[in-house]
Structures are given as structure tokens and as C-alpha cells.
Structure 1
Amino acid sequence: MNNLCVAHRGFSYIAPENTMAAITMAMAESFVQWVEIDTQLSKDGIPVVIHDFTLNRTTNGKGLVKDHTWAQLQQLDAGSWKSRAFRGERIPTLDEVLKLSCGRLRLNIELKTKGDMYPGLEQAVMERIAYYHMQNDVVLTSFDTDALRKVKELNPNFPTGLIIDARPLDLLERLKELRCSFLSIGATHLDSTLASMLVSAGITVMAWTVDDATGMKRLASINPEIMICTNRPDVWGATFLEHKQSFWHWKSQKRD
């Protein structure tokens, strides 16, 4: 099983998603080479790392992320909802995550936006990535096709990826039109035919979100190029080690 492990919002099974704790815990697993995070803008234009458009689920705050300044967001507790052990975890800035990850991890950064919700999001995010010279270690993904087009307008060479939870017949044509080299797709929509077609077309494929060993093994059997996005890097690690041990046992039996 050679499929790359992508930690979904960090090690989000144990730690509060999209926090420095979750990303640090993911980094502690030697086999985690990628982390997926989500970014939006504060009211004063600072890229921050949080999934929901509202603060309600993952912080002790209320209301829309975009209606709060960074100073206000910084005061919120983004950890207690998960566990008392993470009380006091904050919403991180994208800068904090990039600084921590630089030279150590690659990032799938989802642009969380819809319509004209976040004017300037793409440019703000790309400027921070450029500051840390991480253009070759990041892919910008989104459900929002206008956001992907904006990235290409700003820098035609910046890698982008469409996020989709479907299997449209014209998927490859859509990716070509958007100039995407990456696809983030719900795992249930992938089979060997689709995976082979995408990989042959030069598309990097990431399947989400798979937390069980059976699902991981299914994806691995379909194509070794599929990246597996999971809240459970620990399950990925155990599954990989089991596969590796079985392989070497088979090799030793053949030698005997």
C-alpha cells in the first residue's frame, strides 16, 4: 500500500480540527506527508484556518467568521468542544500553519468560499504562500469554480484542484476547462476505471474522507496513485504496516 496519507484538517480524530494541535499531531506521524486544511478571511482580511462559515460548531463564538476581526477571532476557544485537554486552542492564521509546515509538510488548502463571500481570498492566500516560498508544496482546492479560475488568473502555473462529491460524465472535461491538475473526490465515487482515466490524464487524485481500514485497502487496490484523506492517520499507519509485514512474510516464504 503506497498510497499517500493526507491528514484531514490535521489529526482531527484526536485533536480539534484545523488547529495547531491537530497539525502538530499529524506531523508527528512519520508517514503523513500531506495535511488538508480550510481557509477563510477575517473581517480585516487575514487568512484564517477554519472549516465552517460560522463559528458555532468548533469555537465558543457565534456568527459568521467573516464578520469578526482577527483580534476578535484570536480570543475564541477552538479546542474545548473536542476535549478539555485542548482548552485554549485558538483559530490559527494561515501564516502560523505555513510557518510550521514549511519544509516539513505539503498542504492541500481548501478555499472556503461561495460566490462573492470573500473578495480577495485567493490573492491573500497566494501572497502568504509565496512569502514562505511554498508554491511547490501547496495545492489550492475548492468546490467554488470561480475561486479556482481566479487563482489561475493570478498565477496560471499555481496548482489547483476541484473538490466534488459526485461523478459527472464530463468530469475530465471540467478539469481541463478549469486547468486543474488535482481532483478531491468523495471516495465512494471512485472505481478503477475512473481512477485510471484520471491518472492517465495527469490528474492527481485524492479520495475523502476514509477512516476505516477496509475503505483504505479498497482504494489501494484500485490504484496506488490515489491519495487517501483521513481523520485517522493512525488507522492508515496500522493498515500500511499490516500490508508491509504481509508482503515481507510472503517474500521470505518464496525464498524458503
Structure 2
Amino acid sequence: MNNSCVAHRGFSSIAPENTVAAFELAMEQPQVQWIELDVQCSRDGVPVVIHDFTFNRTTDGEGLVRETNWSDIEKLDAGSWKGKSYVGERIPSLGEVLDRCCGKVRLNIELKTQGDMYPDLPAAVIHEVRQRHMQHDVVLTSFEPKALAKAKEIAPEFQTGLIIDARPGDLVARLKQLQCSFLSIGYTNVDKSLMREMQHEEIQVMAWTVDDKTIMKRLAAIDPSLMLCTNCPDVWEKAFHETARHFFRP
């Protein structure tokens, strides 16, 4: 089981998702090679790391991210919902996360948008990454094709990837049209034929989101190049050790 372990929103089964606490905990795990995170823009154009379009679920605030200035966002408590030990944990800016992760782990940065909600998001994210010379340490992914096309137009050197939870017949054509070399796909859509097809096109595949040990081992057996995205890096580690014990059993 040599499949890369991708920590989904950090070590989010333990720490509050998309926070520095979750990212730091993930980076403490030797098996974690990648971290996946979500980025939107504040009203004043600051790229902020948060999944939902509102603050309601993961903070003590309410309202839309895109209608709130960064100076107000950074005051919110994004940790209390996960437990007393995370009271006061903040929503980080993308810049803060990049600074902490630079040279330690690679990043799958999801451009969290729909339609024309965030026309300036790709440029804002690319600016932050370029400032730190991390172009080759990140992949920009999104469900929204417009965001991927814009990112590639601005920064052809960046790796980009489509996120999808389906397997349409024209998947390869879509990826080629968008110039994507990465595919983030719901794990139930992954099988050997998909991996063969993507390898032929030199497209890296990541399966999301896998928290069950048995499913991890089944997916790992399909292809060692398949990246496994999980909320539970500790479960990935258990699956790895169980597979290793089976392989080396006398």
C-alpha cells in the first residue's frame, strides 16, 4: 500500500476542519504527503480557508463569506464546535496556511465557487502561491470548470484538476478541454478501467473521501498511484500496517 495519503481539510476527524490546528496535526503524521483545503474570498478580496459558503456550521458567526470583510472573519471562533480544546481557533487566510506548509507538505487547493460567484478567486490564490514560489507544490482543483479555465489562462504552469462525483463518458474530453492533469473523483467511481484510462492520458487520480479501512485497502489494491483522500489519516496508517503485515507474512 504505497498510495499517497491526503488529509481532507487537515486531520479533520480530530481537529476542526480547515484550521491551522487541523493542518498542523496532519503534518505531524509521517504518512500524510498532501493536505486538501478549500478557499473562498472575503468581501475585500482576501483568500480565506473555509468550506461552506456561510459561517453557520463551523464558526460562531453567520452570513456569507463573500459578504464579510477579512477583519471580521479573522475574529470568528472556528474551533468551539469541535470541542473545548479548540476554543478560539480561527479561520486562517490562505497566506497563513501556505507559510506554515511550505516545504513540509503538498497542497490540493480547492477553488470553492459556483458559476461567477468568485470571478477573482483564481487570480487571488495564484498570487499567494506565486509569492511563496510554491507553484510546483500545489494543485488547484474545483467542481467549477470556469474557475479551472481561468486559473490555466492566468498561470499555465500550475497543475489543475477537475472535481467530480460521477463518471461521464466524455470525462477524458472534459479534462483535455480544461487542460487538467489531475482528477479528484468520488471513490465509488474508481475501478481498474478508470485508472488505466487516466494513466494512458497521464492524469493523476485522487479518490475522495475514504474513511473506512476496508474500502481504503480495496482501493489501494486497484492501483498504487491512486491517491486516497481521508478525514482520518490514522485509519490510513492502520490500513497500511495491516496490508504490510499481510504482504510480509511468512
Please give the range of the TM-score, normalised by the shorter of the 2 chains: over 0.9
Aligned residue number for residue 45 of structure 1: 45
SS in 1 for 2:36: strand
CA contact (8 A) 2:135 2:157 kept: no
What does the per-residue CA deviation read over 1:9-51, in whole Å, with 9 as the maximum and x for residues that have no partner? 0000000000000000000100101000000001110000000
Does the 8 Å CA contact 1:196/1:223 hold for their aligned counterparts? no
What is the Cα deviation at residue 245 of structure 1? 2.5
TM-score (norm 1): 0.96
Identity level (%): 60
For 1:137-156, list aligned pairs within 5 A. 137-156=137-156
The alignment partner of 2:48 has SS state of: strand
> Which residue number in structure 2 is paired with residue 219 of structure 1?
219
1:108-147 matches, cutoff 5 A:
108-147=108-147
2: distance between equivalents of 1:97 and 1:237? 24
2:151 match: secondary structure: helix
Q: Is the Cα–Cα contact under 8 Å of residues 185 and 208 in structure 1 kept in the other structure?
A: yes
Q: Are the equivalent residues in 2 in contact too, given 1:9–1:23 (CA < 8 A)?
A: yes
Matched, 1:174 2:164: no
- Which residue identity lines up with residue 221 of structure 2 in the other structure? S
Q: Deviation of residue 247 (structure 1)? A: 2.2
Offset from partner CA, 1:133-180 (integer Å, 9 cap, x none): 110000000000000000111012210000001110110111001100
> TM (normalized to structure 2)?
0.99
If you compute each CA radius of gyration, which structure gives the higher value, 1 or 2? Answer: 1
4+ long deviations beyond 4 Å: none
> Which residue type is aligned with residue 231 of structure 1?
N
Query: Contact between 2:217 and 2:243, CA under 8 Å: does it hold in 1?
Result: no
3-state secondary structure, aligned to 2:82:
coil
Q: 1: distance between equivalents of 2:226 and 2:26?
A: 19
Structure 2 letter corresponding to 1:245? R
For 1:66, the equivalent position in structure 2 comes to: 66
| Matched AA of 2:7 | A
Once the two structures are superposed, what CA deviation does each residue of 1:60-111 show, in whole Å capped at 9, x if it has no partner?
A: 1001001111110011000001111100000000011100100000000000
User: Which residue of the partner structure matches residue 57 of structure 2?
Assistant: 57
| Deviation of the 1:218 alpha carbon | 1.1
- Superposition pairs of residues 206-245 of structure 1, within 5 angstroms: 206-245=206-245
Q: In structure 1, how many angstroms separate the alpha carbons of the residues matched to 2:25 and 2:150?
A: 33
- Are the counterparts in 1 of residues 126 and 155 from structure 2 also a CA contact under 8 Å? no
Q: Which amino acid aligns with 1:2?
A: N
After superposing the two structures, state which structure 1 stretch, 237-246 or 172-181, moved more.
237-246
Aligned-residue Cα RMSD (Å) equals: 0.7
Structure 1 CA distance for aligned equivalents of residues 245 and 27 of structure 2: 23
Q: Is the 8 A contact 1:11 1:17 kept in 2?
A: yes
Match of 1:81, SS state, is helix
